[in-house]
Amino acid sequence: MNYKIVIFWNQPAALTETFIYNQISNLRRYQAAILGSKWPSGPRIRIDEQIVHLINQGGWRGKLHEVQFKVWGQIPATIRQWLDTWQPALIHAHVAPYGAIAMPIAQRYRLPLLVSVHGSDVTMRDAAIWRSSYMSHRLYLLRRQQLIRTTTRVIVQSHFLHRILIEQHGFDPAQIVCIRYGVDLDRFRPTANPEWGHILYVGRLIERKGLPYLLTALAKLQTDFPDLRLTVIGDGPLRSRYEELARQVLGSRVTFMGAQSNTVVQEYLQRAYVFCMPSITMPTGEAESLGVVFLEAMAMGIPPVSFASGGIPEVIRHGETGFLATERNTDELAYYLGLLLKQPALRNQFGEKGRCWVEQEFNLNTQTAKLEALYDEVIAEHAPKSTL
């Protein structure tokens, strides 16, 4: 049976969350509609807007509806009318705080609720959330016990997140399922013409993504490799600071591209010789949970180099598909980057093994089939029991 479902995605089509759209668009046996709070303010993925329903449709009334829904669980009449017509079989929310916010819908319509956690939504420690995080994150802390009781399954991308949900948040291990985000292997394929010395970074320009460590490491290599260059794709609040640092330590060898579409990222991956995003663990506890861009690089035969933080060691197999330096150690980071630059055979060997690893463990079709099987299981559990 082809069931209808609701995906709760707070700001649908945000450019930094392409992996969510890839998962939705790859569903085969389920028809998904997206419910969101509002459109993101920045760049967006191209998406069929007819499948998107927004709580905040603009103006003061839209803002009021958003606050009423998030704070008091009041579902706007237009959304209730649509849900009455759509008749979904389940609701799948992305990010823990928005799983808590979606609870009134699950409760009103007696739907099983699934929540995908992504990383900083659960790795950040409670004290840091109270001190500096956004309103929805704080509401999550207030509603966490209710969410634990209400949620049918919590989906994680790594065993790292699995452990954190149990130890720091109190979820029952039986609730948690690990289903990875996958890569479209037909789209991301190895390239025959990488540009020697071209290092690529793709990630938000925030402290956790570790760009200053990469800049420092490359500065150590520029004497031995005067032709190396770095392309930075991504935007964020620290961009101007990082651009100034790049000018100081690497001069004109760094190009900042800003936020770009997945198509542009793919074009630059085709040209890259090595991929590097040395993400770090923050004092707040925030850490990389998986890193889909590492998978995209490996799918294209590009070896990644990073720090051994968070869930990254579950993606990069050190010494086989890429290298993992000790966290914040720029000497090690520079050493591993230098090895790949001066040993093309090793670089190509890692690239081939990385592609095989992604085919084996992170195929988008395989991971989506696992998700649909989970949907099947959850719907069957919530089906009315026969009295015969």
CATH (domain of 235): 3.40.50.2000
Cβ atoms < 10 Å from Cβ of 84:
9
Q: Flag whether 193 is in a domain.
A: no
In this structure, what DSSP letter does residue 385 have? Answer: P
pLDDT value at residue 90: 98
pLDDT value at residue 200: 98
Q: Do 178 and 206 share a structural domain?
A: no
Q: Do 151 and 247 share a structural domain?
A: no
Q: Which contiguous run of DSSP H or E holds residue 140?
A: helix 135-150
Distances (CA, A) of 178 to 132, 290, 299: 29, 12, 21
Q: Do 376 and 353 share a structural domain?
A: no
pLDDT value at residue 42: 79
Q: Do 289 and 258 share a structural domain?
A: yes
Q: Do 27 and 83 share a structural domain?
A: yes
Q: Do 23 and 152 share a structural domain?
A: yes
Are 230 and 261 contacting, i.e. CB atoms less than 8 angstroms apart? no
| pLDDT digits 0-9 by tens, 12-45 | 998 889 899 999 999 999 999 999 999 998 788 8
| 3-state class (DSSP) for residue 81 | helix
pLDDT value at residue 85: 96
pLDDT value at residue 16: 84
Q: Do 354 and 222 share a structural domain?
A: yes
Distances (CA, A) of 228 to 240, 250, 255: 22, 10, 12
Q: Flag whether 282 is in a domain.
A: yes
Distances (CA, A) of 195 to 85, 150, 168, 250: 53, 51, 44, 19
Q: Flag whether 388 is in a domain.
A: no
Q: How many domains does the chain have?
A: 2
Q: Flag whether 113 is in a domain.
A: yes
Return averaged pLDDT per consecutive 10 residues of the chain, 388 residues in all: 90 90 95 96 87 95 95 96 97 96 96 94 92 90 96 96 95 96 94 91 97 98 95 96 97 96 92 97 93 95 97 96 98 98 97 97 96 97 72
Helices (H), 196-343: 211-221, 239-250, 262-271, 292-299, 330-342
| 3-state class (DSSP) for residue 205 | coil
Rounded distance between C-alpha atoms, residue 96 and residue 173, angstroms: 16
Q: Do 287 and 150 share a structural domain?
A: no
Q: Flag whether 188 is in a domain.
A: no
Q: Do 209 and 161 share a structural domain?
A: no
Q: Do 31 and 56 share a structural domain?
A: yes
| pLDDT digits 0-9 by tens, 213-233 | 999 999 999 999 999 999 999
pTM of structure = 0.93
Are 69 and 75 contacting, i.e. CB atoms less than 8 angstroms apart? yes
Q: Do 71 and 24 share a structural domain?
A: yes
Expressed as residue numbers, the domain containing 218 is 198-361
Q: Flag whether 189 is in a domain.
A: no
Q: Flag whether 61 is in a domain.
A: yes
Q: Do 272 and 156 share a structural domain?
A: no
Per-position b or e across 302-326, b if 16+ CB within 10 A of its CB: bbbbbbebbbbbbbbbeeebbbbbe
Q: Flag whether 300 is in a domain.
A: yes
